[in-house]
Structure 1
Amino acid sequence: MKETAEAFWVHRFEMQSLQYLRTLMTLRGKPQKMRVQLQGEKNVLIFDLGGGTFDVSILTIDEGSLFEVRATAGDTHLGGEDFDNRLVNHFAEEFKRKYKKDLRSNPRALRRLRSAAERAKRTLSSSTEATIEIDALYEGVDFYTKISRARFEELCVLVGGSTRIPKVQSLLQQFFCGKTLNLSINPDEAVAYGAAIQAAILSGDKSSAIQDVLLVDVAPLSLGIRNSCTAWSTKVDVTFDLDANGILNVTAKEMSTGNAKNIVIKNDKGRLSQAEIDRMVNEAERYADEDENSVNE
C-alpha cells in the first residue's frame, strides 16, 4: 500500500512541477505537532485510526526536539469504512425485517444508506443517539430509524473504535490505567502539520522553531537473510542500509575473496517514466488556456 500511494503522489507532484523531497509516514508527522507541549523526555503512543487504515507507533521525545521511533505496527485494512460497512449491514437487515425487501441488490439505495450511516457514526461521537431518515430509500419505501451509541459500540466490538468515538477513548484510558489522553491535537490537521515541518527542514528553512527538530525513524518490517549454506562453509558479510526515503541498499561481501555484490530495492513500481511525465506536463501547459476557458464557460 505504501508503494502504491508513494508512486501515485510522486507522479502528481512531478506533473505539477513540484519538487518531491521525501515520503513521510503519517504517524511520523503527528508527534511533531506535540513538541511545544512536551518538556523533558517522554514516551508517547500515537494512535491513528483513519478512514481505511489503523496505525500505532511508540516514540521517545526528548525535550520536544528529538523524535525517536521505537516501534510501529498496524492494520492496513481496518478503519472508519469498516464501521460504516457494519452500520450499513445493520440498517439493511432492519429494513428487510420491517418491509420484507432486501435493498442490498440496489446500488443506489446502498449508496444513500451508506451516506446516512456515515453521518450517524459522526453524530454518535458527540451524542448518545442518532436518527436516520431517508425518503423513498427502496421501491418507494421511506426508511426511519434510530441507533444509540451503546448499540453502535456493540456492532463494532470486533473492530474497535476510532479516535473520535468515545468508546475507544475509554478503552485506551483503561489500558493505560486511567491516564488522561492528549486530545488537544486535531486529527484532521496533525499529519499536514508534521509534514509541513519536515518540508521546512528539508528545504533549509532557518526558523528557530525547527532548528533542533530531528526525527529518527524505524523500519516497519524486519530485515534479514536466509542462509542456504552449511555452518562455517563460507563467511559472507551482509550490510543493510535503509535511507530516509525507504530505499534499501543491500551489500554482500565474501570475506575470503573480497568479492562483493550490491542491490538497491526501491519503491518505484508502477511509476511513469520521465519522458511520459514531461509529455503530460507539456500537454497541460499547451492546453492550459483552453481548459481555463472551458471552466469559465
Structure 2
Amino acid sequence: DNRMVNHFIAEFKRKHKKDISENKRAVRRLRTACERAKRTLSSSTQASIEIDSLYEGIDFYTSITRARFEELNADLFRGTLDPVEKALRDAKLDKSQVHDIVLVGGSTRIPKIQKLLQDFFNGKELNKSINPDEAVAYGAAVQAAILSGDKSENVQDLLLLDVTPLSLGIETAGGVMTVLIKRNTTIPTKQTQTFT
C-alpha cells in the first residue's frame, strides 16, 4: 500500500504543486482509497481513485492500471519467493515433491503473486479452495483439535510437528558456540555431549 500511496502523493504534487505528505488526514484518506484500489486490481485491470477535497479543497481523481501497480511493487512481489525457497530448503524438499500449494493471507489474491508462485512450481495449479484470510484460522482449529485429543476422522490422519526455530547450543572455549540441537529439529528432543 505504501508504494501506491507514495506514487499518488508524487502525482498530486506534479499536478497541483502541493505536497500532501505532511497532512495526516489527506494521507489517511489516500491510503484508504489505495487499499480499495489494490483489492479492485485483483479482479480488474484498472482501478479508479476519486477523493473529493483531498487537500485544500482540491479533488483528486486518478486511476492506476494493474501493470503499473505490478511495476511499483515488482521487487516486493519477487521477494515473496524467498520464504518459499527457504521453507523448501529447511524441509529438505524439492518443489516437485509439493502436493498442494495453499495461499495464505490477503495479498495472495494479487494475480502477479499467484503467477510468480505458479511459475515457480512449474505451472502447478494453486489450491484456491480455502479463503486466504481464513487459512491460518483453519490451521489453528486443526492444532486445537489435535491438542485436545479429538479422535474424529477429520483429524486422525494429521500429524503436526513442532520444531526448534533456532539452533540451540552452549558457549565453549574461545567464545565459540557449539550447536547441540540444530534448528528445525522436531521437539521434544534430547541431545547429550560431553565437554572437557
Q: Which residue is 2:104 aligned to?
A: none
Alignment-mate amino acid for residue 159 of structure 2:
L
Q: Which has the higher contact order (CA 8 A, sep 6+)?
A: 1
Q: In structure 1, list runs of 5 or more residues that go unmatched.
A: 1-83, 231-236, 257-297
2:51 is matched with which residue: 107, 118, 134?
134
Q: Which residue is 1:172 aligned to?
A: 117
Q: Tell me by how many angstroms 1:205 deviates.
A: 2.1
3-state secondary structure, aligned to 1:132: strand
More strand by share: 1
How far apart are the structure 2 equivalents of 1:133 and 1:148? 15
How far apart are the structure 2 equivalents of 1:216 and 1:186? 24
Alignment-mate amino acid for residue 8 of structure 2:
F
More helix by share: 2
1:241–1:250 contact (8 Å) kept in structure 2: no
Percentage of pairs with the same residue: 65
CA distance 1:144–1:240, shift in 2 (3 Å): same
Q: Tell me by how many angstroms 1:177 deviates.
A: 2.1
2:73 is matched with which residue: 150, 156, 159?
156
Q: Which residue is 1:26 aligned to?
A: none
Q: Is 1:199 matched up with 2:116?
A: no
CA distance 1:255–1:108, shift in 2 (3 Å): closer
2:49–2:60 contact (8 Å) kept in structure 1: yes
Alignment-mate amino acid for residue 162 of structure 2:
D
Q: Which residue is 1:218 aligned to?
A: 163
How far apart are the structure 2 equivalents of 1:176 and 1:119? 30
Q: Tell me by how many angstroms 1:255 deviates.
A: 5.6
2:166–2:182 contact (8 Å) kept in structure 1: no
TM-score (norm 1): 0.49
Alignment-mate amino acid for residue 216 of structure 1:
L
Structure number, greater radius of gyration: 1
CA distance 1:208–1:250, shift in 2 (3 Å): closer
Q: Tell me by how many angstroms 1:254 deviates.
A: 5.0
